[in-house]
Amino acid sequence: RRFLASKEQFHAYLRARGEPGGQAGGGGKVEEEEVEEKEEEEVGSCQSEPPAKRVKSEDLGQDGERREDAGAEEKEPVERKRARGQNKSRPCMKPNHYEQSRLCPSVTQGCAEKCYFGPRCRFLHDVGEYMAAKPADLGHSCVLFDTFGKCIYGVTCRFAQAHLGNGYQNIINTDLAKQWEGKSLVRNNLSKDLQHQLRKRKFIFKKADEYLRGLAKPHGDGGKGGKAMGRSTEEQEVSNCTTPQEGLGDSPECPVLLEQGEDPKPDTLQSPGPTGGEEASSVKTVGLVTDEDIIKLRSCEKKKLEIQGKLYLAPLTTCGNLPFRRICKRFGADVTCGEMAVCTNLLQGQSSEWALLKRHHTEDIFGVQLEGAFPDTMTKCAELLNQTIEVDFVDINVGCPIDLVYKKGGGCALMTRSNKFEQIVRGMNSVLDVPLTVKIRTGVQEKINVAHKIIPKIREWGASMVTLHGRSREQRYTRGADWDYIAECAKIASPMPLFGNGDILSYEDANRAMQMGVSGIMIARQVPVGALIKPWLFTEIKEQRHWDISSSERFDILKDFTNYGLEHWGSDTQGVEKTRKFLLEWLSFLCRYIPVGLLEHLPQKINERPPYYMGRDYLETLMASQNVDDWIKISELLLGPVPTSFTFLPKHKANSYR
């Protein structure tokens, strides 16, 4: 209790200390008398607790007196309103907000005479003029130059003094540069050629079009065409597979249709599309035609997804970027997955969406997650990725609870649209050469679980694995995950692997989860989170210990993240500010971590909201602050001062405590 403090004491301490690293000393330890007085005050006013918790304690008064006497307070809905979901209409910091005069890329790359924009170019071409207006450098060493022997950003680098010679010439360490020559550090980039094909709609979706023609084919009974499509030609091929797991759901009788009160349609199990001869004659081939071009890959011949018992870092919107995944990989994550990508944006060739698919060379087991609501776009997107990027699996997001996705029929809404859901899974499975996985929730409504009914169908439709988040859409990320229900679903899913997800913040939580009979655990949800609060959780699970990590060690993790960010997004002003933005997003979660040495009982629970407390030193106290200004202060320790009129509002509101 000696670390407890009031809100006023907490912020006064941070304001009084100017530099990190100093010991808290007497200022960090509240005297026993003050603590006792504070505890007495907590009974009445709860001033030592954050507003959200104060509201709850008032609402849940022991004898009801507080509710009756708080008539005036109840008239203030602003204080009682819980923060939910996303901060919409956030201020957007664009490059021209923090860099008015930008140098032309042709000058940076050493080919000023070949400017891409010609006489219409609005960027500077005079290096001297640019350097006169350029802000001061942020440090004496450039991570790109130190790592790769060359910084491609040249004079625009915010650490340029480390690699600029006379006349602003960019210095190159030839010996170090040769070591990296020809090596691909980041894969799955979007080429200009492919982007042009997608924008002009010239990319050919041969397999997807064949599958979709089968869906559109009219049937004799006038029913919905091709509901069980995807079994067609694949069905007959799979019948030769003897593995029980691969053959599940391949019998002529379809229990899915019977459960939904419809008659099984034998027509839908026949070969759907137009005759192969007609189509083959119109396809232009280059070179020799091999067996691979003609013979379709059977399900039992697909690459297996063998990740049972491994630690799976969940796809995390905004914060699950490549630099963060590198941090988690270093701490022991076995399986990583890119951020949720919207299939329609990928099909349009949007660079920002394709950036979510990038894979670092250290990610040995890597997948991508797709979100969509219709079989045509999802099947085409699956075929596109199958041909153009390197992944070990593709995941369908059927767990996203946000309104923007749900109202369009994607995410959790697919759990209530079984026809479309089936067509999507079967279609994607028919065009992919890698395993297909599905991530779902317990259901849409809070007290109505439907996952146990859907999981057997997903297995029959051809998915290789299911991940179940133990909360419904209405619960979002509040309340505790229902691990008893996850255990029940794991038995139903067998022999298909089922990974459980929810409320994993310590190795003890992980051990309890594995005892439920799941094949593995997925760590880090959006809110509340495990890996975003403590990325070293993977190390704790593998070493079966609680790690009382110091503030300096945590600060070193942030340093590594900024270095990875500068490598990935660039070391020029634009790259520095993008790195700062994602660092601040991560800090909005990191502040919820409570050091092990300060806890009265272990482990920390993911939904517990602590009172204000003083850390064991200034830096630990600063990292515990939930004030945006303090997060910005930490970013300035790593990336220098923020630009003029800088503003930041985290994407996600505080919705993890209840």
Task: Confirm whether 397 is domain-assigned.
Answer: yes
Domain boundary among 149, 165, 187: 187
- Looking at residue 605, its pLDDT comes to 75
CA separation for the pair 211, 268 (Å, rounded) = 12
Q: 100 in a domain, yes or no?
A: no
Q: Residue 98: which pLDDT band, with cuts at 50, 70 and 90?
A: low
Which of 168-182, 520-534, 629-643 comes out lowest in average pLDDT? 520-534
Identify the helix (H) or strand (E) that includes residue 37: helix 32-44
For position 290, what pLDDT does the model report?
Answer: 59
DSSP track, 67-128? HHHTHHHHT-HHHHPPP-SB--S-----HHHH-SS-B-HHHHTT-GGG-TTGGG--SB--HH
400 is an active site residue? yes
Give the contacts of 425 (CB within 8 A, at least 6 positions apart).
Answer: 230, 396, 436, 438, 458, 461, 462, 463
Of the pLDDT bands very low, low, confident and very high (cuts 50, 70, 90), residue 95 is low
Q: How many distinct structural domains can be found in the chain?
A: 3
651: confidence class by pLDDT, cuts 50, 70, 90: confident
Maximum CA extent, the chain = 90
* Distance between CA atoms of residues 60 and 43, nearest Å: 13
Q: Let me know whether 483 and 391 are in one domain.
A: yes
Task: Give residue 653's pLDDT.
Answer: 63
Q: What is the pLDDT of residue 370?
A: 96
pLDDT band at 217; cut points 50, 70, 90: confident
Tokens for 524, please give them. 């880090």
Which of 187, 218, 243 terminates a domain? The answer is 187
The DSSP call for residue 523 is E
Catalytic residue, from 254, 400, 412, 489: name it.
400
Quote the pLDDT of residue 112.
Answer: 65
Cβ pair 116, 105 in contact under 8 A? yes
Q: Given this model, what pLDDT does residue 598 score?
A: 87
Query: For 303-328, how does the pLDDT look when each residue is reduced to its tens digit (9 = 90+)?
Result: 778 888 899 999 988 889 999 999 99
Q: Would you state the pLDDT for residue 373?
A: 94
Q: Are residues 521 and 570 in the same domain?
A: no
At residue 309, the pLDDT reads: 86
Q: What is the pLDDT of residue 397?
A: 94
Residue 464: pLDDT above 70?
A: yes
Q: Tokens 């006064």 correspond to what residue?
A: 12
Task: Give residue 222's region: left, alpha or beta (phi > 0; psi -120 to 50).
Answer: left
State which of 43-47, 108-112, 216-220, 598-602 shows the largest mean pLDDT: 598-602
Least reliable range by pLDDT among 155-169, 218-232, 375-389, 532-546:
218-232
Residue 263: band (very low, low, confident or very high) from pLDDT cuts 50, 70, 90: very low
Looking at every residue in the chain, the average pLDDT score rounds to: 78
CATH number at residue 317: 3.20.20.70
Q: What is the mean pLDDT of residues 510-533?
A: 76
Q: Please report whether residue 231 resides in a domain.
A: no
Collapsed DSSP state (helix, strand, coil) of residue 559: helix
Same domain, 375 and 479: yes
SS3 category, 426: helix
Q: Are residues 467 and 527 in the same domain?
A: yes
pLDDT of residue 133: 87
Q: pTM above 0.85? A: no
Q: Are residues 365 and 512 located together in one domain of the fold?
A: yes
Look up the domain containing 477 and give its range: 192-197+303-547
Tens-place pLDDT, residues 3-57: 888 888 888 888 887 444 444 333 333 333 333 443 344 333 333 334 443 333 3
Is 91 a residue whose pLDDT tops 80? no
Cβ neighbours for 472, distance < 8 A, ≥ 6 positions apart: 441, 442, 443, 444, 445, 446, 447, 448, 449
Residue 276 lies in a domain: no
Say yes or no: 500 and 570 in one domain.
Answer: no
Element (H, E) at 469: strand 465-469
DSSP 144-162: HHHHHS--TTGGGBTTGGG
What pLDDT band is residue 584 in, cutting at 50, 70 and 90? very high
User: Which amino acid is it at 21?
Assistant: G
Q: Give yes or no for residue 638 having a pLDDT over 80.
A: yes
Q: Which two tokens stand for residue 145?
A: 């130059």
What percent of the chain shows pLDDT beyond 90? 46
Closest among 615, 611, 657 to 6, alpha carbons compared: 611
The yes-or-no verdict on residue 84 having pLDDT over 80 is no
Residue 420: CB atoms within 10 Å: 19
Q: What are phi and psi of 18, to 5 degrees?
A: -95, -30
C-alpha to C-alpha distance for 171 and 163, rounded to whole angstroms: 5
pLDDT at 60: 38
CA triple 353-368-92, angle to 5 deg: 30
pLDDT, residue 89, reads: 62
For residue 363, the number of C-alpha atoms closer than 13 Å in the C-beta half-sphere is 30
For residues 573 and 95, give the distance between their C-alpha atoms in angstroms, rounded to a whole number.
8
DSSP 36: H
Whether residue 420 sits in one domain with residue 395: yes
Cis? peptide before 603, omega within 30° of 0 = yes
| Whether residue 567 sits in one domain with residue 538 | no
Instruction: Give per-residue pLDDT as tens, 444-456.
Output: 888 889 999 999 9
* Claim to verify: residue 374 and residue 322 sit in the same structural domain: yes
Q: Is residue 20 part of a domain?
A: no
The answer on 451 and 577 residing in a single domain is no
> What is the average pLDDT across 89-93?
63
Residue 242 counted as domain residue: no
Give the mean pLDDT of 335-350: 96
Asked whether 175 and 613 are in contact (CB, 8 A), the reply is no
Helices (H), 217-350: 232-238, 244-247, 255-259, 276-282, 291-294, 322-330, 343-347
Q: Decide if 547 contacts 537 (C-beta within 8 A).
A: no
Query: How large is the average pLDDT for residues 245-272?
Result: 37
Return the pLDDT at 182: 85
Number of Cβ within a 10 Å radius of residue 304: 11
Contact 87, 561 (CB under 8 A): no
DSSP result, 303-332: PP---TT-EEEPP-TTT--HHHHHHHHHTT
**Rounded Cα gap, residues 307 and 312, in angstroms:** 8
Q: How far apart are CA 219 and CA 216, in angstroms?
A: 9
Q: Which residue stretches of 340-413 are H helix?
A: 343-347, 351-354, 375-388, 403-406
Predicted pLDDT of residue 657:
37
Cα dihedral 504, 505, 510, 513, rounded to 10, equals: -30
Q: Which strand (E) or helix (H) includes residue 366?
A: strand 366-371
Q: How confident is the model at residue 121 (pLDDT cuts 50, 70, 90)?
A: confident
Do 95 and 101 form a contact (C-beta atoms < 8 A)? no
Distance of CA 2 to the CA centre of its chain: 37
Is 331 contained in some domain? yes
Same domain, residue pair 536 and 619: no
Q: Based on the domain organization, do 543 and 612 belong to the same domain?
A: no
- Band of residue 647 on the pLDDT scale cut at 50, 70, 90: confident
Phi and psi (nearest 5°) for 451? -60, -35
Q: Is residue 249 part of a domain?
A: no
User: Token pair for residue 140?
Assistant: 């004496």
Last residue of a domain, one of 187, 209, 229: 187
Q: Which two tokens mark 331?
A: 């701490």
Question: What residues form DSSP beta bridges with 86?
Answer: 652
User: For residue 373, which phi and psi values (nearest 5 degrees)?
Assistant: -120, -10
